[in-house]
Amino acid sequence: MNKTHFLCLLFSVVLFSCFKKESDMPRKTTGKINTIAVVIDDQLWNGEIGDSIRNKFASPVIGLPEEEPLFTINQYPVKLLEGFATDSRAIIVIKKEDENKFEIQKNQYATPQNVFHISGKTAEEVLEQLEQHTPEIIQLIEQGEIAESQRINKQSLLNTKGISKQFKIGIQVPSNFEYVLRKPNFVWLKKKIISGSSSLLVYQVPLNTIKTQSAIAVTILKMRDSIGKYIQGTEPNTYMISETGYTPYFFKSKIDHRLAYETRGTWQLQNDYMSGPFINYAVVDKLNNRLLVVEGFCYSPSKEKRDEMHELEAIMHSVHILKNNTFTPHKK
């Protein structure tokens, strides 16, 4: 074999290897945040099973002033389990078969992805599977959507060196946010959107601010109202308070593997008409003897707010408390 033939053969092998490696790589998932694909035949979708799916996965999001669905649902017949359906991050496949089954497959068609397979011999058995496994399905989908939002945020991050030094935390904030106000124990960041703005607050109070477990919810609302003086409107004597006409939702949650008290409700401007939803996490940080508070709220009158609040939630879930000040923040 002469040198020319050898080089041609070597080039062909290398080229084939590159194409093979590229074709072996898993497809990337696509689609809007909080959107799921439900693969189910039309007959089941238009009946009791479809009603159950819509009631569970398109139920109203807790804490928003107007009703918005938990997830946007795209329905596809089983025979179309290809193309756009398989590119989704979350796919629920429902069939009537000879086996009662619930199965979760990771990255079955693309990555990152959760595919939930549900089947039953009768409609009643399918409904039983749905009823039993819906909480787990919703939790996994929500975790996946938070991770996707954080992946998007990481593409361009704000310089949070000042926040890291001030509060001993790492946090991933997109670069389209700007600093509005900085105080010794308080920071306010804001992002302009078409119909208004999204805001992020970071502040801290002594751990003993919560005196008793029975009064946690009341204490947190008083605490957030006390910092409302920093969030002022354009008119004199207007400042943010918790909306008194709606009872907030209160949960125990986790931020950075630490206990956090989660509050969802509605804020308003005192002596004004502005209002909107908020999510507040009060993180129990025993290491630093404090409650670290991160809060997201938005103002977007007459517009949907679910995805704006989801972005804020993803930012807040990126918080991690530093054991020392060696954290190196991303720069804008």
DSSP string over 8-29? HHHHHHHHHHHHHHHHHSPPBP
What would the pLDDT profile of 118-155 be if each residue is shown by its tens digit? 999 999 999 999 999 999 999 999 999 999 999 999 99
State the CB neighbour count (10 A cutoff) for residue 73.
17
- Which pLDDT score is estimated for 82? 64
Nearest to 317 by CA among 266, 279, 276: 279
Query: 312 with 212: CB under 8 angstroms?
Result: no
What is the pLDDT at residue 20? 40
Give the pLDDT score at 7.
Answer: 45
pLDDT of residue 314: 98
DSSP state of 2: -
Choose among 188, 162, 174, 184: nearest CA to 240: 188
- The Cα-based distances of 186 to 15, 52, 175, 272 in angstroms read 57, 44, 19, 24
* Domains of the chain by residue range: 35-153, 161-321
Instruction: Look up the CATH number of domain 161-321.
Output: 3.40.1000.10
pLDDT digits (tens, 9 = 90+) for 173-182: 999 999 999 9
pLDDT score, position 331: 41
Averaged pLDDT, 149-163: 96
**What letter represents residue 24's amino acid?**
D
d(C-alpha 50, C-alpha 224), whole Å: 41
pLDDT band at 212 (very low <50, low <70, confident <90, very high): confident
- For 264-315, how does the pLDDT look when each residue is reduced to its tens digit (9 = 90+)? 999 999 988 899 999 999 999 999 999 999 999 999 998 999 999 999 999 9
Q: In this prediction, what percent of the chain has a pLDDT beyond 90? A: 76
Distance CA 41, CA 119 (A): 12
Which of the residue ranges 16-20, 136-140, 247-251, 255-259 would you say has the lowest mean pLDDT?
16-20
Residue among 155, 151, 198 nearest 189 (CA): 198
Taking Cα atoms as reference points, which of 207, 170, 319, 164 lies closest to residue 256?
319
d(CA 208, CA 289): 8
Give the model's pLDDT for residue 247.
86
CB 68 within 8 A of CB 60: yes
Per-residue confidence (pLDDT) for residue 111, from 0 to 100: 95
User: Mean pLDDT over residues 187-192, rounded?
Assistant: 97
The pLDDT assigned to 263 comes to 96
Report the chain's mean pLDDT, rounded to a whole number: 89
Spell out the alpha helix ranges (H) of the chain. Answer: 3-24, 42-45, 48-57, 123-153, 161-167, 216-226, 306-316
How far apart CA 332 and CA 157 sit, in angstroms, is 6
Residue 326's pLDDT is what? 40
pLDDT at residue 139, as a whole number: 97
Q: Which two tokens stand for residue 51?
A: 């009603």
pLDDT at residue 332 greater than cutoff 60:
no
For residue 295, the number of C-alpha atoms closer than 13 Å in the C-beta half-sphere is 31
Name the least confident of 19-33, 200-214, 216-230: 19-33
pLDDT of residue 273: 86
* Predicted local confidence at residue 325, as pLDDT: 47
pLDDT at 183 over 50: yes
| pLDDT of res. 19 | 42
The amino acid sitting at 183 is: K
Task: Return the minimum-mean-pLDDT range out of 218-222, 262-266, 323-327.
Answer: 323-327
**pLDDT score of 61 more than 80:** yes
